[in-house]
Each structure stands twice: as C-alpha cells, then as structure tokens.
Amino acid sequence: MDQQLWNRTKKVISQASNRFSEADPIVYSAAIAFFTLFSMPPILLIIVWVAGEIIGKGAIKGEVYRQVAEKVGPESAGQIQRLLERGRDLGDNLAANILTIALLVFTATVVFNFVKKALNSIWGVKPKPKKGVVKFVFDRFMSLLLIIVLGVFIVASLLADTLINSFTDILAGELLGMASYVAIILNTITSYLLVTFSFALLFKFLPDIKIHWKPVWVGAFITGLLFTLGKYVIVHIISSTNISSTYGAAGSLAAILLWVFYSSVIVLIGALITKIHFLHKGYVVTPNSNAVAVEVKEIERNHLKK
C-alpha cells in the first residue's frame, strides 16, 4: 500500500513538472502580481471594513501590519499601514457611498479575475462569450465573497494567536521553558489550516468547472503544505536580496510584488497537482453551465488551411 502510494506520488510530481510550462504559471503569476498593484488597496480597505466590525479596525490594521512585516519586511508593512490610515470611512451621501463601494468592489476583484483565468487555463475551460454580462456580475460577486472570507480568516488568525499565547502563558510553568516553541508550532498549524481552507474555497468556486470536494481537499492540503514551506523560502529570498537598496524608493513595493509573484507560482503549481490527482482518480473535467471546454492542437505550418 505504501509502495503504491509512493509510486502514485512520483507519477503526479512527474506529470506536474512536465505540464508546468504548458500551463504558463510564470506568465499568469506575473500578471497577478502586476494587477495586485491596483487591487491591493481596495482589498485591504474592504477587509478592514468587514473584519473591523468584528474586533475593531485598530486590531485588524495591527494584524495586517504584522502579517506583511513577517513576510516582506517592516518597510513594506509601513507602506501598507500608511495606505490604510489614508482610507476613509463612508460619509452621509448615499449616492457617493454607492459609487465608492461599487468602485472598490470592481477594483478589488480585478486580480481575482486573473487568478480565475489562470485556473481556467490549467483546467482547459473558458467562459461562454454569450453569457458575458451575467458571468461578469457572478464572478465579481464570488470574488467579493472570497475577500470577505479572507477578512474573516484574518480575524480567526488573530483570535487563535491570542488564545495560543494565553494558553502558553498559563502553562508556562508546566512546559519547562518550551512555551515559545509550543506557541510557534501551534501558530504554524493554525496558519496551515486556515491557508488550506482558503485554497479549498479557491479551487472549488473560482474555476469554471464542476468538481467534487474530495479532490479539492487533497489539492488544498498539498498546496497548503507547499505554501507553508515556500513562504519561508520566499521571505529568505526577499531578505537576502536587499530589494530596498536595489529599487530605492520603490523597494517596499517591489518586495510585495515579488512575494505575490512567488506565492502565485506556488498556488498555480498546487492547482496543477490538483488537476492531475483529479484525473488519476477517474474524474472527467466538466465545464459548468457558464463555460465550455477548450481543446488545443499543435499544427505544423505546412498543414495549415489556406
């Protein structure tokens, strides 16, 4: 049984590496990183609005700063913090508020559109042209839901971190000086579970396919593991390349884009592994009602129709 699992794992990894260039994850990851420039401010503002209603905007802004500082450094986190401080609450003008919210939602969901395109490319499907308007509204709605879920996850991460620290403080005497290590382990496990759940939602609802939860969870667990291990590598690359001095005033922004780029590559690799596992289990890729399958053929030049 173990040998069979090992052989299957090797086959999945081999096929994933062979299909890596065909799926163009580097190109899509670069596009996702670029459009993060436009989507990041409204995404963060929406998260602060939603999560701030639960535990307070100050706590959420502090958690966002901490998360960014851990991943790309304090300079980039400071820039994000200044961006959030400039964000304004809604006023009393109803028409202006509706326009502001609509603009924020549209801009925030732009990057998710490219994530969706990348996932659709991996699965070999695309939206039906005739359902452009309906599909556009539905996709924006689903992207907004994912942003709201992300805000809830940040709240959950903050609450879990508080509970873990309280737990280790109470049992500090029983842990024989190991409290800090226990806290790190518990925080890592909690972060892994939240990230895995996020990927499961991403793989289930964003691509235009019909897919069961079982292969989604397998792919999400693998992607979560790759992401959890890969983020330490990404942080090491960013810290060792001294981006701030290389890019000057734009260094903090470049660090964020680099982190988004590498993270996107990991996510798309996870999606590719999910598809291969999906096919190995005997499932057939079926587009949903708003999409069609895409077949790509390679044709020699002398066989092209005139």
Whether residue 148 is contained in a domain is answered as yes
Closest among 108, 78, 28, 72 to 259, alpha carbons compared = 72
Chain centre distance of CA 173: 39
**Cβ distance 235 to 70 under 8 Å?**
yes
d(CA 60, CA 54): 9
Whether residue 296 is contained in a domain is answered as no
Domain that holds residue 36: 9-291
Q: Where are the alpha helices (DSSP H) in 56-131?
A: 57-72, 74-86, 94-108, 110-123
Return phi, psi of residue 150, to 5°: -60, -40
d(CA 168, CA 282): 46
- Positive or negative, the CA dihedral 241, 246, 252, 253 is negative
**Cβ distance 154 to 46 under 8 Å?**
no
Whether residue 302 is contained in a domain is answered as no
Whether residue 305 is contained in a domain is answered as no
d(CA 72, CA 253): 10
d(CA 292, CA 113): 17
Total domain count, the chain: 1
Closest among 206, 207, 203, 198 to 215, alpha carbons compared = 203
Whether residue 60 is contained in a domain is answered as yes
Q: Residue 41: what pLDDT?
A: 77
Q: Residue 217: what pLDDT?
A: 92
C-alpha distances in Å from residue 42, one per residue of 47, 193, 221: 8, 26, 29
Closest among 204, 253, 199 to 226, alpha carbons compared = 199
306 residues of the chain, pLDDT tens digit each: 466 666 666 676 677 666 766 667 788 888 888 888 778 777 877 777 777 777 777 777 777 777 777 777 777 777 777 777 765 555 566 676 677 677 777 777 888 888 888 888 888 888 877 666 777 777 777 777 777 777 677 667 767 766 776 766 666 566 656 767 777 788 888 888 888 988 998 899 889 898 889 889 988 998 888 888 887 777 777 777 766 666 666 677 777 888 888 888 888 888 888 888 888 888 888 888 888 888 777 666 655 555
Q: Residue 179: what pLDDT?
A: 67
Strand pairing category for 286-287 and 125-127? unpaired
Whether residue 146 is contained in a domain is answered as yes
C-alpha distances in Å from residue 246, one per residue of 38, 166, 249, 252: 23, 41, 9, 10
C-alpha distances in Å from residue 205, one per residue of 44, 59, 218: 21, 30, 15
Whether residue 238 is contained in a domain is answered as yes
Give the pair of three-digit tokens for residue 299.
């044709």
- Neighbour-count burial of 285, counting CB atoms closer than 10 A to its CB (0-12 exposed, 13-18 middle, 19+ buried): middle
Whether residue 2 is contained in a domain is answered as no
d(CA 111, CA 27): 14
Give the pair of three-digit tokens for residue 206.
């964003």
- Residue 291 belongs to what H/E stretch? strand 291-293
Q: Where are the strands (E) in 198-285, listed by range?
A: 209-210
